[in-house]
Structure 1
Amino acid sequence: MHRLFTSITKSFARIQPSTIDLFRSIVLIACTFMLVSGIFTVLDMPAAEISNDATKNRYLSMLVIKVSAAVENEQGVSPQVEYRLFVMMFITLLIMFALAFWYRTHSRIHRSQWLNQALLALQIAIAILVQPWTDPGLQYLIAAELAFILPYKTALLWMCGQIFLLDACNFAHLSTLQIGAAQCNVAGVHAPPFAAMTALQWLKEMVFQGMVFCIGYFVHAEILSRATLAGTHAEIQATEAILTDTVRLSEQNRISQSLHDVIGDNLAALNIQLNLANQESEAHVKPSVRTAQTLAQSLLSEIQQVVGIEREHDIVDLRQTLHNLCARIPALTINLSLSDQFAKTSPAVAHAFFRCVQEALSNVIRHSGADTIHIRGTGDGGMLYLSVTDNGTLSSEKTTINHGNGLQGMRTRLENLSGTLDSSIVRGGGFRLTICLPKNGRKSC
């Protein structure tokens, strides 16, 4: 019943969308709404307005005029041609933004660092080009993306750069307006001073983008905390299970040793005395003495057999223990495959493997950004091999690995049992740990 419940819980967790997938879906839906809204705005705009916008430093309009002039190979292009090109470029840029966002936030696609930065710069450039026709603006989606994807300090630097570029473009636009002229039909109402409008625009971008960034950051931090808590809870439950097995085996060993040391020794002494009695008066031995000797020998043999069986049962089902550990971590997709040799391991070996897998899962949840882990265990003679591979975002060009306290502790634990630990970066940016440990803790890997 417990296994059935665990299987159902794990299956239900698998069909739930991950946090990053849910975030990607929300952003893509927002891009779709902005695209539709922008298309209606553009369709309501007169064709001649494109040239007028170009004179006011609207960069997409300026780009349309230059491209249309290059295509027609002349300066005088009809407004209808410019208008059609403007609509096509607007739709294309929004689609490019959505594709760049989708590709950049896809956790299972390996990307180099420069490609990540190039895609982010492309998104910011598109947000600047289409800003007047997208409401509230793609820059707010980028601010949330930065909080979800990048480390805090790096994301903050990118957001400040985005605000600076947007305000610089708005500054160029505001400088072309007739500041001071009447802005409505009410006599005497004029626009505020240029410096005030620029400051208000800068303040608006800083406040609203900062709010979106903070919301995204705190939501992401809360999600990471929940994932860490779920992993810790699973570790505690699995640790409790393996400690229960260890205590049970320890008590069995104590009872077996007591049987062997106390009862076994006394029965052996009794057999010796009965043998002496038989030898001293062979002709006058009573049948009861012979019966007592037979019963004593039989009882000693049975006790020795029981002690031997208990010692043979001094094993831990590591395969089931690791299965229980992985089943209770819904934040990760864990593919676990262990050979039959992992179902019968000594307590010391099982404890060493368990602690290493526990530390590896904890590192993945907290540091790697991976969402899929493959755990493979095989046996070869008296050796056990276990590999833990994730699909994190480490650079495959990186040649050195920083061994922190976690990896050093794992290596020390394994070396005490004549085992080894190897770490490497796999192709695609993932990280792999390979553990080699003898079943009896004596042979060398």
Structure 2
Amino acid sequence: MDRGPGDRRRWLLDGLFATALLAIGLAGTAPAGLNQGVHAGPVAYPPVVVAALALAVRRRWPLPTLAVVVAATTGYLMLGQPYGPILLSFFVAVYTVAAHLPVRTAAVAGAVALAALALYVFAGVRPPGAVGLMPVAAWVVVPFAVGVTVRLSREAAARSRSDEARRLADAERLRVAREVHDVVGHGLAAIHLQAEVALHLLARRPEQAEAALTAISRTSKEALDELRVTLTVVRREETTDGRAPVPGLAQLGHLRERLAGAGVPVTVETTGEPRPLPVAVDLAAYRVAQEALTNVLRHAGPATAAVRVGYAPGEVTVEVTDTGRGRPAPADRTAGSGLAGMRERVTALGGTFDAGPAVSGGFRVHATLPTGEAT
């Protein structure tokens, strides 16, 4: 079975680590015996070699590795050999089981390892007796605790990454839904009103009905083009055909024509010196105007509307007023889209948003967006 680069790298690192422990074991066992007044005979080295080399597959097969290392270490100690580098191999094997296996499985394996070492405590060539239980237990408990801590930390980090990925995915879905709502909702609202006009005029004034049907055709094409561009931007692909620009305040003229075709006269007024805006700000400002005018189509009744765009140092403002009924959209239309969607767009960019009945009648939507320029 082919293995990926990550697997091969782990195999290599574990092999190098095992080789290093083997070198330490071969070089350090005899000096360790001299320090303890115990001669490390020839029988000491085979267990040292087996325990060290077993670690080359420790992450691939943690339990078999631990079994081999425990058997080698227990045999080494039962033969009366000195405490030495072989214990490093034992510590690493216990740690690996705790760090890579479920706690219950690792705990059972650790208990078996402790029981095996208990044979040495009471039945070895030079058994330490009951006084040796405490240090022998520490040989198992300490690396086991370190391994469990590392595993829990690793799992917590993985959960955090998963939660962050899920949050980003949810935010992306909300953004896509908002974009599609703004594009499709506005286009369908205009098409609906134009269709109503065409049906009303079809029998009595067919020439005017034809104009309404032409407006429907134009509006639907523009909405489809804008939806195509929106989805392209969402996929982070570059548009190469240039048939429809990314929406921004420069398209307010087209928006005004679309509303006029649906029977809602719209005036557009600009104050200050128009200038290029950050893409996100330009899009948000346009969407505020678009959604506010869509609400005029849907809910204001017979009305006119005015859009005022103000360019000031460090910010741009968009205000939409109408002469309609002065009531906001129904609550079920504002939750998550509509007015709520406009507010989320604006506040996400650090701006302010306000919507409500205008003092002079009708309804007013006002948004201020920072442009991030030095003032």
In the superposition, the TM-score normalised over structure 1's length comes to 0.40
